[in-house]
Amino acid sequence: MTTAPPTSHARAGVTLDALVSPPIRAGGCREGLPLIVHADDFGETVDITDGIRLCIEAGVVTSTSIMANMPATLYALSLAHALADRASFGVHLNFCEGRPMTASTTLIGRRGEFHAKRALFVRAMTGMLSLRELEAEITAQLARVHDAGVRISHVDGHKHLHQVPVVSAAVANVLPRFGIERVRITRLRDVGATNKPSTLVREIVAWHGSRAFGRARLRSPVRTVDIRTLVDNGLSHRRAKSIVDSAGPVELCCHPGTVAADVGKPGSHQRAAELDYLLSSRFRALLTENNARLVTYWKV
């Protein structure tokens, strides 16, 4: 179902109703095209979680996913219940940061922590990860969120590692046990649009993952767009006009956070800049120009 209109937030000055463009009335009534604005990393830190919370309260983020083994997981779970009428909540499976929730040998290094992203990717591609251990870890992460009383809309992955070989098979095996029917696939649907090797690799991995997820009859948005495409490159609204798709829901993935989030945990995402953009009139105009209708992951 679509999200309910949120309470206003002083910084945003908008409501969900103000962000949704009116229905098209040419040749009969037609609703706007569905767009999921999804924020990763709910629960990674308190400051990251607070940035996402602000966006949900302002009505500009309609979905987020919870990290089950991070310092702010309990804080995120406590907020999820209060925000459940405004956003859908998935699980952000994590295999590359911190410690696993289960006993493992193939997923961890000498210090007992997950392998870093690149190392785990290489291990997945070379058959060095245990399917059994992956299934146990996925089960534990999902169970922590499920047992906290959160209705899980879907699953995605930290650094998109849920799509790589073996991991995607484990995800496809475990999700039906929890009644979860949706998963993110980071496909652009246009290999010609990839402008660097890392993007091409991610597209190939996404297509591989889609086969495993498809066999398990899991559903996904028709494609995923990173909000950094808009923020970092300063794309005009005209160039971004294909952000929504008549074939079905598109996911606009973002990583908002407060200024303190960037200071406390710097990384590849400029979280405060994304937060400002999401709460800006520019983003509102982009949604209107694209006839975007904001929906949750439950609409996939």
Q: What are the tens digits of pLDDT across the range 49-74?
A: 999 999 999 999 999 999 999 999 99
Q: What is the pLDDT of residue 267?
A: 86
Identity of residue 237: H
Give the DSSP per-residue string, 122-160. HHHHTT-S-HHHHHHHHHHHHHHHHHTT--EEEEEEGGG
Q: What is the pLDDT of residue 24?
A: 30
Q: Looking at the domain assignment, is residue 99 inside a domain?
A: yes
Number of domains the chain is built from:
1
Contact between residue 63 and residue 56 where contact means Cβ atoms under 8 Å apart:
no
Averaged pLDDT, 73-86: 97
Examine the pLDDT at 259 and tell me if it is beyond 50.
Answer: yes
Which has the minimum average pLDDT: 65-74, 95-104, 134-143, 199-208? 199-208
Confidence of residue 244 (pLDDT cuts 50, 70, 90): confident
Q: What is the pLDDT of residue 242?
A: 60
Q: What is the pLDDT of residue 239?
A: 54
Examine the pLDDT at 195 and tell me if it is beyond 70.
Answer: no
Q: Looking at the domain assignment, is residue 98 inside a domain?
A: yes
Contact between residue 256 and residue 52 where contact means Cβ atoms under 8 Å apart:
yes
Q: Looking at the domain assignment, is residue 6 inside a domain?
A: no
CA 66, CA 50: separation in Å to the nearest integer? 13
Q: Looking at the domain assignment, is residue 52 inside a domain?
A: yes
Comparing 7 with 126, which gets the higher pLDDT? 126
Provide the angle, in degrees to the nearest 10, between the axes of the packed helices 46-58 and 73-83: 10
> Over pLDDT 70: what percentage of the chain?
83
Q: Looking at the domain assignment, is residue 28 inside a domain?
A: yes
Q: Looking at the domain assignment, is residue 1 inside a domain?
A: no
Contact between residue 225 and residue 239 where contact means Cβ atoms under 8 Å apart:
no
Q: What is the pLDDT of residue 204?
A: 87
Q: What is the mean pLDDT of the chain?
A: 86
Identity of residue 107: L
pLDDT digits (tens, 9 = 90+) for 1-20: 333 333 333 333 333 333 33
Averaged pLDDT, 111-138: 96
Domain span holding position 234: 16-299
Averaged pLDDT, 42-55: 98
Instruction: Say which CATH number the domain at 153 has.
Output: 3.20.20.370
